[in-house]
Amino acid sequence: MKIHGNEFALASKLNVELNSEDNEGLIFIPKNVTLLLEIENYYGKIIINSLRLETQEDEFSLTKKGLEASTASLDIKLIDRYLFKILGDKSGIGHSPYSYFISYDFTSFEKGRRLTDIDWAMFASLYVFACNVLPESVKVELSLAKELRISEENFKRFLKKMPKTIFRKNEHIESRGGNLTFEAEELILSKLSSENKVLFEESPYLKFYSGSDLA
């Protein structure tokens, strides 16, 4: 992937090019096709603002039949996951959506300490955030387990133990997402600095998520 730029700060945009050299299993692009994308960092989520396809300019590809033949095998259903993977590479851009979450000490989950209501509320908000910003094909439980430095099984146990006064899960436990309660919102706001209060109120990803089941 060719990236025009070397940083991906909040609200910034990047132009990227994808071609057949990016065929690593998640996407497939024919040899004579290039994808030109403009992407944006929206509160940690990678948003595709525009996508344009270019084909090799020869006599065959410029015909309708040629265009159909060259793009028939194009497969970019998981392009969001591919972008997430490549931009997250620490040797490159090093994009991590979690760096745009509210700063909070989650070590109580890692070290098995007694959890307080604010711990649960922030855990719930982090989970909702991840559900919103991670691609649908990325497993939220595994990603957050790595971020919190706990096992995936322990993360699932914490998810099941979240107090109903703090968080309401969508449908069954394996469904992705849920909503913070008003009580949890008020609790979080009472503990945040002025700067983080603004982020909590402005970000569309910290309180609610209603989506499909995990793939």
What is the Rg, in whole angstroms, of the alpha carbon atoms belonging to the chain? 20
Does residue 55 carry a pLDDT above 90?
no
Average the pLDDT over 48-77 and give the result. Answer: 73
Mean pLDDT of 18-38: 94
pLDDT computed for residue 210 by the predictor: 66
Q: What is the pLDDT of residues 167-190, one digit of tens each?
A: 998 766 667 889 999 999 999 999
Residue 176: per-residue pLDDT:
83
Query: Where in the chain does DSSP place strands (E)?
Result: 2-4, 13-18, 33-42, 45-55, 167-169, 177-180, 208-210
DSSP string, 124-157: HHHHHHHHHHS-TTS-HHHHHHHHHTS-HHHHHH
> What integer pLDDT is reported at residue 172 of this predicted model?
63
Q: So what's the pLDDT on residue 214? A: 36
Distance between first and last Cα of the chain? 25
Cβ-contact 54, 42 below 8 angstroms = no
Looking at every residue in the chain, the average pLDDT score rounds to 89
Average pLDDT rounded to a whole number, residues 137-156: 95
Look at residue 155 and tell me whether its pLDDT is greater than 60.
yes
Q: What is the pLDDT of residues 83-123, one digit of tens each?
A: 999 999 987 899 999 999 999 999 999 998 999 999 999 99
Query: Average pLDDT in the 181-208 region?
Result: 94
Q: Give the strands of the sheet with 167-169, arranged side by side.
A: 167-169, 177-180, 208-210
According to the model, what pLDDT value does residue 215 have? Answer: 32
pLDDT band at 191 (very low <50, low <70, confident <90, very high): very high
